[in-house]
Amino acid sequence: MPENIPPISVVSHKDIRIVEFTNNKILDEANIEGIRRTIDSLIDETDRPKLLLDFGAVDHLSSAALGMLINCNNRVKARNGQLRLANIKPQILEVFVITKLNKLFKILPTREEALASFMAG
Amino acid sequence: MQAKALKFDIPSDLSESRRVHQQIMAAVADGGYSEDAIFAIKLAIEEALVNAIKHGNKLDPRKRVHVEANVGPEEVEIIIEDEGPGFARCAVPDPTADENLTKCSGRGLLLMEAYMHTVEYSNNGRRVRLVRKRD
């Protein structure tokens, strides 16, 4: 995959933006930077952004990817928005547990549960 | 299985590290290691290479990264050494502390240490030895 095309797709559900990772690896710095820029632009689109990140396709990630997700969380919070992570495979979820980032992020088992967890407004 | 030894000497360039990463992981996959071991080794090598290139050599193109990988029947050993100023492991803050949870960096060492059976730092932190035993 060319590095200038971020490996993600974005769909909307009502006022919620759903970002789906389309590459099984979120390791590479160049890819991560592209993902970060795309997600930042989604966050900046609106006040109180609602963002759902779907990890269903992700088999590997790195600490650089975790940094990108924390940046995303910080920006969403700064705009009084809501961020949900969903559909995370057990091996990847373990990375969140080891780093204790499962305490920072709101992680839901499925996309449907994550969509239902957004508060109105 | 037959043991495989790989040796690389690369510039401080993340695209070069990708090539090294892929070659080592191909040898690990050929060695019949489990999915969990492959996941762990892949993550640890990524973190160690990025540390060497970005934090050790600070992307200085004049500095090199030296990599050795020994993929044996019982364990995989990876040694990565940079030419930077080194670091003290004990001086790196705990990224799992509440006050550090929202910081965007500082989790690479924690992940390496969580996923590998042995992580040894030497030469003032310039050299790291990683070992993952067969499950």
**Is the pLDDT score of A5 beyond 70?**
no
Q: Is A74 helix (H, G, I), strand (E, B) or coil?
A: helix
Convert the pLDDT of each residue in A51-94 to its tens digit: 999 999 999 999 999 999 999 999 999 999 999 999 999 999 99
- Chain B touched by A97 (CB under 8 Å): no
Q: Which residues of B touch A70 (CB under 8 A)?
A: 101-104
The overall average pLDDT reported for chain B is 96
Q: In whole angstroms, what is the distance from residue A32 CA to residue A19 CA?
A: 14
**Is the pLDDT score of A4 beyond 70?**
no
**Is the pLDDT score of A100 beyond 90?**
yes
Angle between helices B108-115 and A90-98 (to 10 degrees): 120
C-beta atoms surrounding A87 within 10 Å: 22
What is the torsional sign of CA A32, A88, B27, B105? positive
Residues 6+ apart with CB under 8 A from B118: B129, B130, B131
pLDDT at residue A71, as a whole number: 96
Size (chain B), residues: 135
| Chain B residues with at least one Cβ partner in A under 8 Å | 14, 18, 35-36, 39, 42-43, 46-47, 50, 95-96, 101-108, 110-111, 114
For B39, the token pair is 């996941």
**Is the pLDDT score of B135 beyond 90?**
no
Convert the pLDDT of each residue in A23-47 to its tens digit: 877 767 778 888 999 999 999 999 9
pTM: 0.93
